[in-house]
Structure formats: structure tokens, C-alpha cells
Structure 1
Amino acid sequence: MGTLTSLPVAKVRRAREGMRLRVNSSALTGGIILALILVGAAAAPALYPGDPLDMAASPFIWPGTDPAYPLGTDMLGRDIAAGILHGARVSLLIGLVATLVSIAIGVTFGALAGFYGGRIDWALMRATELVQTIPPFLFALAIVAILQPSVPTIVIAIGLTAWPSLARLVRAEVLRLRNSDFVQASISVGASHRRIILLDILPNTFAPVIVSASILIASAILTESSLAFLGLGDPNVASWGGMVGAGREVLRTDWYVATLPGLAIVAAVLGLNLLGDGLNDLLDVRR
């Protein structure tokens, strides 16, 4: 009898171990891809100390034909490998800082709306819905076009358009935690609202915020690449989107000029999505 009852338990344990292995493999794969990109971005000044926008050689050197330029050159003789590595620094910087701006706004709105409720909740959620009615990319496009393209402008534009979904997520978590025992205990001993929000509630919302942050960074990289593709990137720095936009003019004859930086964008977004999926399952307490 004991053997019969132990069989379902063993199956459940094997299923759980299989799920953990799958989740860890997803997060591990995404982490490896991002680690490789970070290493390349960190090594860019040492490997290519010059300006990646300078003309380094003859135009249209195909990848693999010249050891000095392993990924070839574009129509202006710029080293594509140098552009990709230096562009990684710009794309990751914009993605990270823009995400931090979105997190600051979204967490503030969501925490205040969920904790206080009433008119404050109504006002903050209506402001959130107002921003959500505007397509994020068009909103960012308008901001960059008005303020002139530059890295700080792009960061502000992306940060101001990507926070509403995070605000709703944090609000839902705060509503769930507001009536919990440890929050009521803090209220009963006279703790201030600021202390309760900062020390009791927000630390328990870190898991979904971290998962959302990985997705927001990927979205920010795509948005920056799209803006640069349309000619609204910072002209003083190398970026993946700008390289793809420049290479589209010779896509039929020299496809590698646009394809190689495009693959870099795909790798970065794929790595962030895989990492986000893995973290979502690992940090989900219901699992």
C-alpha cells in the first residue's frame, strides 16, 4: 500500500524537477547571451579604441575577406564590428536607464494608488490610462522629434512612455499586500505610511518588478533601434538601429551591412526575453 501511494508523489517530484530544469535552462540561456553582449560592450574601447563612425578602410569589404575587419565595412568604410560593439554600449545604456526611469514612475504611481485608494487611486489611474491611450512608439517619436535626437532625449522619451503597465502591476500587488497581517501589524504600532510603503510593501513587489524590468529593457532597445532606423537616433554615437537604417539602402547588393547589426538586436532581445521568462517562473511563489 505504501508503495502504491508513493508512486504519485514520485511523479510529482520528477515533474517539479523537470520544471525547475526547464526554467533554469531558459534563464541560463538568456543570461549567457546577455553576458556575451556585456563582455563585447565592455571590451569595445580596448578592441576598437577609435571612433566607430570614422572611415577605417575601403567601402564594402565583405565579412571574412580581410582579417583586420572580420565583419567587413559598410558603404562609408566604417568597421561593422566596431560599430556593433560600440552600439551595444549605447543600446544597453539607453535600455537600462530608460527602464529605471519607467520603474521610478510606475512604482511611485502604483504604490500610491494601491495603498491610499479613493481619490488618489482614481486620479493616478486616470493619468495612467491617459498615457496608455497614446501609442508608446508614436509618443516617443513625437518627444524625440520636438526635443532633437540625442541619447538623453531618447532615454526620457522611452522612460515616459513605458511605465503604465508597470504601474498597474505594482498597484495590484500593493492592493494584495495592503491588508496582510504584517502591514496591519505595522499600522497598529503607529508606523508612518512612508515607512510601511518603503519597508513593508515595496520589498515584496520586487519579484514582478524585476521580471517586468527585463521586458522593459528589451522593449527600450527595440524602440531606440526603431527611432535610429528612422533617422531619429543620436548622430554622434554608433547604434544598432542606425546601422540597420543605413544598410537598408544596399540591402539587395550588400545585405550584411544591415543584417549583422540586426542580428545583434535579435540576440539582445532574445536574451532578455529568455531571462525574463526564467525569472518569472523562478520567482513565482505560486509554483
Structure 2
Amino acid sequence: MSSVAIKTPEAIRWRLSPQLRQLARSPSAVVGALLLLAVLLMAGSAGWLFPEDPLAMVAEPFLRPGADPAFPLGTDMMGRDILAGIFHGARSSLAIALAATLVSLVLGVMLGLIGGFYGGWLDAAVVRVTEFFQTVPPFLFALTIIAVIQPSLWTIALAIGLTSWPGLARLVRAETLRLRHGEMVQASISLGASDARIIARDILPNALAPILVSTSLIVATAILTESALAFMGLGDPNVASWGNMVGSGREVLRTDWYIAALPGLAILVTVLGLNLLGDGLADALDPRSRQ
């Protein structure tokens, strides 16, 4: 009787350790992780450092950075504290991006797995729906959804999520098609494993690497899309977000550039951190990079 090797948690951790070591040796991944950690600390400490409403008028308008120690980054045209807005904006911008990414992951991974695993008319339907969504520019699609419904934190996240999944679905479908005809899946089929078990145990874990890399890019795209929507006046006016701050500062960009530039810098740092982390993940999870 042949013995069956059982993968213990220690064995799984040992198998993952080369990827983690590769990730720790990647300068882009380390820098990206540090930048994201700084943004997360901003979001987590916003309520403690700035307990007041970030949309409240707390000083005279158009205070320049450094003019008043109480407001290190100055105030905007309404007398609102820019530093408090940036810290609280990290919360709302990240919340929108993460919620949109979750919607995109659920749709993209589910449809990609179904189409790639079952094939036939299901795969054809997934391909047609994906192609339809990809023919419409994602930003224009999200813009249309927001213009029809009431702009709020969660409707914006839903609109971005509904327009961000096609690329991920095609990627997961391609990985599923490759794994579907592999020896591991065929052995599970011959042993009588159910479809759900094969997908959960054999296909999805082996497709996680490209999914993780794509997730970082989806989060970055969601932040940029939310900022662009808010810049056009389609953000939630009751919430402090980086996009709303940039949008309100565009009217005085020539005379008081810092009102739009400082929250724009926060967007730049966050997106840069996500892209650097995505590059590091791609290198660490690529088998060819460890040869």
C-alpha cells in the first residue's frame, strides 16, 4: 500500500519560505511595503490625531504650509485643515479601493474559474460577457453608473468594482485552463473528487500567484479611478477623500497650488507603493526568478 503524504502547516510554511525570502530581498517590494505601511498608519491614527470633523472650518482660509504651527500643511479655501483631510482621506480612499477590489475579486475569480474549469457554453458565455465589459472604457462605465445613482462611499466602490473585474477574469480563466488538464487535476478526477474540491484544493491555490499580483494593481487603479471621479464632482461630498480634496483645489490651482498638490502627493505615494509591491510579488512568485 502506497503511503500518502500529508502536508502539515509546518510543511506549508517551509514551502512558502523561499518566496518570502525572495520578497524580503526585493528592494521594490520593501519600499512599496513601507510606503503602504505609512498610509495604513495614517488611516488608523486619523481618528486619534484629528478627532474633529475633517470637513469643519477650523481656521482662516488659504493658510499656506508652515504659516501656522497648529496647521502644518495649511488650510484650504474653506478654512479646513489639509493635514486632517489627508489623514481622514486615507481612510475613505482605502475603504473605497478595498471594497471595489473585493467586488472585482469575487466576480473575476468566480467567472474565471467557472469558465476555465467547465468549458463549453459556460466558458463561451464568460468570454462574451468579459469581452462586452472590455469594449466599454472602465472609467466611462463607472462614470455612467455614478451619474445615474446617488454618489456615496459604497456606490462608488460598487461602480469601480463592477468595471475592474474583466482583466482578472481572463487571467484566472487562462490559469484554470492550464491547470485543468494537468496531472494533479486529472488524478483528483480519477479518484472521484468533486468539482468544488478540485477547484478549491488543486486549482485555486496554484492560481494565487497571478491573482495576488493583479490585486495590488486593482487597488491602485481603484484609488486613481475614485480620485478622477471626485475630481469631476462625482465623489461623496459628505466624506473627506483625496479625490475630493484635489477636486476642490483645482479652482485655485494657479494661486494656491498646495491645496490640490498635497492630497495628490498622497495619491502618488499610495499608488507607487502598490505598484512597487506588485512588482516585488511578481518577481518573488515567479519560479524563473529563483533559478
**By the TM > 0.5 criterion, same fold?**
yes
Task: Give the Cα separation in 1 of the matches to 2:157 and 2:164.
Answer: 11
TM-score by length of structure 2 reads 0.90
- Poorly superposed stretches of 4+, deviation over 4 Å: 20-23
The one-letter code sitting in structure 2 at the alignment partner of 1:38 is L
Identify the residue that residue 60 of structure 1 maps to in structure 2: 62
How is 1:79-118 mapped onto 2 (pairs within 5 angstroms)? Answer: 79-118=81-120
Contact 2:76 2:249 in 1 (8 A): yes
Task: Give the Cα separation in 1 of the matches to 2:90 and 2:234.
Answer: 18
The one-letter code sitting in structure 1 at the alignment partner of 2:48 is A
Identify the residue that residue 274 of structure 2 maps to in structure 1: 272
The one-letter code sitting in structure 2 at the alignment partner of 1:24 is S
Identify the residue that residue 8 of structure 2 maps to in structure 1: none
Identify the residue that residue 283 of structure 2 maps to in structure 1: 281
The one-letter code sitting in structure 1 at the alignment partner of 2:38 is L
TM-score by length of structure 1 reads 0.91
The one-character-per-residue Cα deviations of 1:192-233 (angstroms, maximum 9, x if unpaired) are 111111221111111110100000000000000001111100
Contact 2:23 2:29 in 1 (8 A): no
Contact 2:113 2:173 in 1 (8 A): yes
Question: Out of 137, 146, 149, which is 1:147 matched to?
Answer: 149
Identify the residue that residue 6 of structure 2 maps to in structure 1: none
Contact 2:23 2:281 in 1 (8 A): no
How is 1:227-242 mapped onto 2 (pairs within 5 angstroms)? Answer: 227-242=229-244
Task: Give the Cα separation in 1 of the matches to 2:96 and 2:24.
Answer: 31
Identify the residue that residue 205 of structure 1 maps to in structure 2: 207
How is 1:1-287 mapped onto 2 (pairs within 5 angstroms)? Answer: 24-287=26-289
Task: Give the Cα separation in 1 of the matches to 2:130 and 2:149.
Answer: 23
Contact 1:244 1:259 in 2 (8 A): yes
Task: Give the Cα separation in 2 of the matches to 1:272 and 1:211.
Answer: 10
Per-residue deviation, 1:286: 2.8
Contact 1:103 1:163 in 2 (8 A): yes
Task: Structure 2 unaligned segments of length 5 or more: list them.
Answer: 1-21
Q: Which moved more, 1:40-49 or 1:177-186?
A: 177-186
Identify the residue that residue 9 of structure 2 maps to in structure 1: none
The one-letter code sitting in structure 1 at the alignment partner of 2:100 is A
Task: Give the Cα separation in 2 of the matches to 1:77 and 1:223.
Answer: 27
Identify the residue that residue 10 of structure 2 maps to in structure 1: none
Task: Give the Cα separation in 2 of the matches to 1:49 and 1:246.
Answer: 22
Per-residue deviation, 1:180: 1.4
Contact 1:23 1:278 in 2 (8 A): no
Alignment length (residue pairs): 268
The one-letter code sitting in structure 1 at the alignment partner of 2:163 is T
Q: Which moved more, 1:43-52 or 1:175-184?
A: 175-184
The one-letter code sitting in structure 1 at the alignment partner of 2:203 is I
| Cα 1:21–1:201 shift into 2, 3 Å | closer
Q: Secondary structure at the match of 1:75?
A: coil
Q: Secondary structure at the match of 2:204?
A: helix
Task: Give the Cα separation in 2 of the matches to 1:234 and 1:23.
Answer: 41
Per-residue deviation, 1:118: 1.4
Per-residue deviation, 1:21: 8.7
